[in-house]
Amino acid sequence: MTIIFQILAIIAVIVVAIVMLRGGGARNQAIQRIFMLLFIVAAGSSIFVPQVWTFAARLLGVGRGTDLLLYITVLAFLGVAATTYRRFRRLENDLTAMARQVALARADNQQNSSEVPEPPAADGDK
Amino acid sequence: MCETSCMAQTWVVVPMYNEASVIASVIKELRKSLPHVVCVDDCSTDDSAAQARSAGAIVVQHPINLGQGASLQTGFEFVRLIPEMTEVVTFDADGQHQVQDALDMVQRLRDEKLDIVIGSRFLDNRTDMSGLKRFVLRLATGYTRITTGMALTDAHNGLRVISRDMIFELQLRQNRMAHASELVDQISLHKATWAEHPTHIVYTEYSKSKGQSVLNAINILVEIIFK
């Protein structure tokens, strides 16, 4: 029976990996929010009706409900780590582009020679 | 050999971070034969920028520290604005490269009409290095060969000569050390013509102390995989 859970967990890990490697956007954000909602429901239900978790765990072949909850938490954490990494990466790219423009603009002002004809145009750096 | 007059169009990009003790002599040496030097100061905390300026380089200063890859890209974007620029030399600030090697590489780029000439420590036996460093660099070239199909012997050499056209194609996004591999990726992506040129690297105590630890190879690998 554990094999079912292992397959599901692996699929979840792959989904997280794909989300991590592919671009973001509104659709991704929507999916993230759906997961967040599910997580809130899961958290609430584990407090008020823990039997449901034990039932679900047995169904998936994972022993106890707490174990199932732990697994889901680990997966959710992975997802958070992945999206956070991506977000920081994007921020870093933006910051780099801006710092670069500042550097080039300042070099321009200092020199005021003919070697550099015009301030750098903002290019399509994503 | 090519003298100053015909080298006038060659620009040298020197990424620099806290190199105050050596940068002036490196730039003076460079400018004897390659007068156009732009130093990208990656927000050094010492007076590297003033030293570089006094030695006659144009200094472009990052307002915050971004990394060597970002410095190179800033240098590339700076020289793109210069209409007379015909090729760009990338040269490390710590003085480990030989100016004569750079001149030979420029000549070769022109003679063979190449897009890029990359320096290599492994084409002859001039460069002296530790066995571990040699091994890690070999691993890196193996990785490059697998991912790009380019049979480079030295993927992480800071000395390169890049043609004007190629400078406009390059877009380095790896701010830190993974930029060397990224550059090779982009060369292969653009099907650029390239050659490797034997260069001599002098590992002084100074450049060794500034150089990267071999453990950094792990960081580079992670940065490449999780772009």
CB B126 within 8 A of CB B57: no
Tell me the range of A37-41, B44-48, B143-147 where mean pLDDT is highest.
Answer: B44-48
Structure tokens at B106: 């420029």
CA pair distance A120, A29, nearest whole angstrom? 34
- What would the pLDDT profile of A14-36 be if each residue is shown by its tens digit? 776 676 556 556 776 777 777 77
CA pair distance B58, B63, nearest whole angstrom? 16
Which has the higher per-residue pLDDT, A92 or A25? A92
Residue B71, chain A, CB below 8 Å: the answer is no
Structure tokens at A1: 């029976």
What average pLDDT score do residues B161-188 get?
Answer: 88
- What would the pLDDT profile of B176-191 be if each residue is shown by its tens digit? 778 888 888 898 888 8
Residues of B in contact with A92 (CB under 8 A): 175
DSSP A49-60: -HHHHHHHHHHH
Residue B7: what pLDDT?
A: 45
Helix (H) or strand (E) holding A5: helix A2-21
- Using CB atoms, pick whichever of B74, B81, B226 lies closest to residue A103: B74
Superfamily of domain B9-225: Spore Coat Polysaccharide Biosynthesis Protein SpsA; Chain A (3.90.550.10)
What average pLDDT score do residues A65-75 get?
Answer: 83
* Lowest-confidence pick of A19-33, B95-109, B193-207: A19-33
Q: Provide the 8-state DSSP code for B213.
A: P
Residue A88, chain B, CB below 8 Å: the answer is no
What average pLDDT score do residues B104-113 get?
Answer: 93
Question: Distance from B87 to chain A by nearest Cα, in Å?
Answer: 16
3-class secondary structure, B63? coil
pLDDT surpassing 60 at residue A116? no
CB B162 within 8 A of CB B201: no
ipTM greater than 0.85: no
Domain boundaries, chain A: 2-111
Disruptive mutation site among A85, A115, A125 for chain B (greatest number of B CBs within 10 Å): A115
Inter-axis angle of helices A26-48 and A65-111, to 10 degrees? 150
Question: Distance from B113 to chain A by nearest Cα, in Å?
Answer: 26
Which has the higher per-residue pLDDT, B73 or A124? B73
CB B94 within 8 A of CB B65: no
Residue B5: what pLDDT?
A: 47
Helix (H) or strand (E) holding A93: helix A65-111
Helix (H) or strand (E) holding A99: helix A65-111
Average pLDDT taken over every residue of chain B: 85
- What would the pLDDT profile of B33-49 be if each residue is shown by its tens digit? 999 999 999 999 999 99
In sequence order, which ranges of chain B are alpha helices (DSSP H)? 4-7, 20-33, 48-54, 68-80, 99-111, 131-148, 164-169, 179-189, 205-210, 216-225
What average pLDDT score do residues A70-91 get?
Answer: 85
Give the A:B interface size as CB pairs under 8 Å: 55
* Lowest-confidence pick of A46-60, A101-115, B40-54, B92-106: A101-115
Disruptive mutation site among B40, B71, B78, B224 for chain A (greatest number of A CBs within 10 Å): B78
Domain boundaries, chain B: 9-225
Which has the higher per-residue pLDDT, B198 or A43? B198
* Lowest-confidence pick of A44-53, B33-42, B51-60, B103-112: A44-53
Question: Distance from A13 to chain B by nearest Cα, in Å?
Answer: 15
